[in-house]
């Protein structure tokens, strides 16, 4: 009878019973979520962490699931998503759960994160037409998502709750140190304006107290027209924009053209939307520190 009730409790928690725990699979939807998941679950026994989308995919707005993706979901005990609409490839809310086995759970790590930016239909912040999903591109938001993930895993798997929370605390410090360094940059160059390729850098700009003067592609994947390019150059000149920021996922040609017309630097920052499949544990920190160095050099010119 005790075994029966133990099994019921484990199923209610969303994880397999201890006897079946060796096959437990936790799947992260996208690369930055995977970076967090494998660190927060470090040293948790009988747990396998997998990444759903290929590591180098980048921002998945135009991604379509493959048969292999569906097979991965069908085997998963837990799917961890960024949320806020980033995983549109999963379909409408709730559909992911229907692609998974009975008893599997979906954890949304943005669901307990505060200070989200909203954006209007043109991709600009502050008008309440939906939250910006690119939280992972900011160290302090990444720290908040680590706490959210640890808390949700602890609730589902209380036997390992202390490990989840200790792991989150361990990775929080370097992330918050990074956020402090971006804030220090902001104090040095407070209010400087930048133009970004799409709204993936909005949270990072807030970290560094930078103003987003314009977004080159408010609708992702749609290049600006000739008239829109002229308007962007006009805005940059009027606002004395300091730099144009591109990202490795997309061609930099348009950004470079705009920067040349305005006579300002064009720099590339990596939002860590994608990366190598064998990324080391400090990959996020090292990439964001390099971004900080590049940004400081550009703003100091």
Q: What tokens appear for 55 in the block? A: 């590591």
Query: Do 169 and 223 have their domain in common?
Result: no
CA distance 290 to 270: 9
pLDDT at 122 over 80: no
When comparing pLDDT for 128 and 291, which is higher?
291
**Residue 69, token pair as written in the block:** 């993706």
- In this prediction, residue 220 carries a pLDDT of 65
Do 144 and 274 lie in one domain? The reply is no
Statement to judge: residues 112 and 41 lie in one domain = yes
Verify that 53 and 116 share a domain, yes or no: yes
Q: How confident is the model at residue 14 (pLDDT cuts 50, 70, 90)?
A: very low
Predicted confidence at residue 268, as pLDDT, reads: 97
Instruction: Please count the structural domains in the chain.
Output: 2
Q: Where is the domain boundary, 157, 175, 193?
A: 175
The CATH number assigned to the domain holding 37 equals 3.40.50.1980
pLDDT-based confidence at residue 11 (cuts at 50, 70, 90): very low
Choice between 98 and 241, residue whose per-residue pLDDT is larger: 241
Beta-strand ranges (E) seen in 138-190 are none
pLDDT, mean over the chain: 89
Is there a single domain that holds both residue 216 and residue 275?
yes
E-assigned strand segments in 140-240: 193-196, 211-215
User: Is 190 found in the same domain as 169?
Assistant: no
Range of the domain at 281: 181-299
Indicate the residue among 175, 193, 208 that finishes a domain: 175
Long-range interactions of 65-71: CB distance < 8 A, separation 24+: 65/89, 65/90, 70/99
- Give me the pLDDT at residue 221, please: 65
Domain shared by 34 and 153, yes or no? yes
Among 175, 206, 223, the domain boundary falls at 175
> Which of these, 167, 141, 188, lies nearest to 288 by C-alpha position?
141
**Same domain assignment for residues 101 and 143:** yes
179 and 139 in contact (C-beta within 8 Å)? yes
Q: Are residues 290 and 229 in the same domain?
A: yes
């Amino acid at each position: 009878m005790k075994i029966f009730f133990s099994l019921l409790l484990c199923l209610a928690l969303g994880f397999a019973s201890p006897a079946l725990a060796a096959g437990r699979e936790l799947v992260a939807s996208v690369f930055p979520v995977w970076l967090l998941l494998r660190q927060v679950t470090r040293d948790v026994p009988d747990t396998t962490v997998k990444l759903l989308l290929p590591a180098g995919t980048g921002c998945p707005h135009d991604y379509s699931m493959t048969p292999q993706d569906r097979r991965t979901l069908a085997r998963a005990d837990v799917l961890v998503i960024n949320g806020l609409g980033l995983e549109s490839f999963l379909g409408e809310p709730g559909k992911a759960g229907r692609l998974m086995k009975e008893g599997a759970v979906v954890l949304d790590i943005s669901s307990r994160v505060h200070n989200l930016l909203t954006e209007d239909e043109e991709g600009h912040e502050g008008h309440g037409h939906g939250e910006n999903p690119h939280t992972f591109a900011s160290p302090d938001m990444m720290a908040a998502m680590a706490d959210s993930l640890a808390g949700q895993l602890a609730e589902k798997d209380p036997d390992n709750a202390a490990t989840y929370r200790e792991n989150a605390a361990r990775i929080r410090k370097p992330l918050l140190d990074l956020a402090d360094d971006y804030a220090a940059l902001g104090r040095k160059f407070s209010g400087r304006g930048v133009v970004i390729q799409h709204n993936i850098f909005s949270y990072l700009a807030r970290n560094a107290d930078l103003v987003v003067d314009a977004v080159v592609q408010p609708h992702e994947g749609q290049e600006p027209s000739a008239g829109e390019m002229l308007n962007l150059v006009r805005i940059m000149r009027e606002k004395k924009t300091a730099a144009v920021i591109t990202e490795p996922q997309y061609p930099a040609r348009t950004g470079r053209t705009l920067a040349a017309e305005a006579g300002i630097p064009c720099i590339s920052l990596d939002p860590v939307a994608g990366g190598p499949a064998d990324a080391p544990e400090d990959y996020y920190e090292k990439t964001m520190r390099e971004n900080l160095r590049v940004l400081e050099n550009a703003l100091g010119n």
